[in-house]
Amino acid sequence: VLALQEARGLLDDQSSIEMREAAIEANRKSPDLIPAAAMAARSLTLKGDKKAAARVVRKSWEVQPHPDLAAAFAEIEPEETPAARVKRFAPLIAANPGHDESRLLAAELNVAAEDFPAARRALGDMVTRHPTQRALAIIAAIERGEGADDAIVRGWLAKALTAPRGPQWCCDKCQSIHAEWHPICDNCGGFDTLSWREPVETIGPGPTGAEMLPLIVKPPAPPPPTDDRDEPIDLAAIARSGN
């Protein structure tokens, strides 16, 4: 944890070489620490060692899938097509296929690739078993992509706005919720007390925005408006505004 905080401090000082080495060392000392793995993967990507970056993410994903790990994995090949991204992410998802984060990630990637049946299969029963804001936002995108009526899409989005947020960084000592990981809780001052888990149920958009398609998944272009139907829903605008 201290090594990771050193890396974060160096990042703030824009000391890129020292930051990269400190981040890699933090991950070496604690490979299951999600922020360390994500920062180490990004550091290795900056060094041009994409294979090592991918190994770091996969190793951490096996223990605890997390949106930050998925984002770091995406940054390894930032210019790839949605179809290529689905293929490259397949081994990562297979490292922990039954985890809800793996299901959500697979669904998002297939939405981006406009393979909506595959996205629906990946999501499985999460909409009924664990209907978080993120899962409901994804099913809304799937419904839109498959040509569902606007009323159906609006219904899913309305449910998403009041659904549980899902896992967040929570202090195990005071239960305070944080937008991102910190070595010290901003509320109670506890050291190394933040864990990625489901907090006590709350309402409203999550502080990380993870519930609204974190991998920059763009919804498919809506059909042009006609005189006999409402204007298409702009999912991206709704996600940004939280309304």
User: Could you read off the pLDDT of 164-209 as tens digits, one per residue?
Assistant: 999 999 999 999 998 888 888 989 988 888 889 998 754 455 544 4
pLDDT band at 54 (very low <50, low <70, confident <90, very high): very high
Report residue 79's pLDDT band, with 50, 70 and 90 as the boundaries.
very high
pTM of the model: 0.73
Q: Express each pLDDT in 108-124 by its tens digit.
A: 999 999 999 999 999 99
CB 57, CB 69: distance < 8 Å: yes
**Residue partners of 54: CB distance under 8 A and separation at least 6:** 41, 73, 76, 92
How far from 28 is each of 22, 126, 147, CA to CA, in Å? 10, 34, 47
Query: How many other CB atoms sit within 10 Å of the CB of residue 154?
Result: 15
Contact status, residue 116 vs residue 142, Cβ threshold 8 Å: yes
pLDDT at 230 exceeding the cut of 50: no
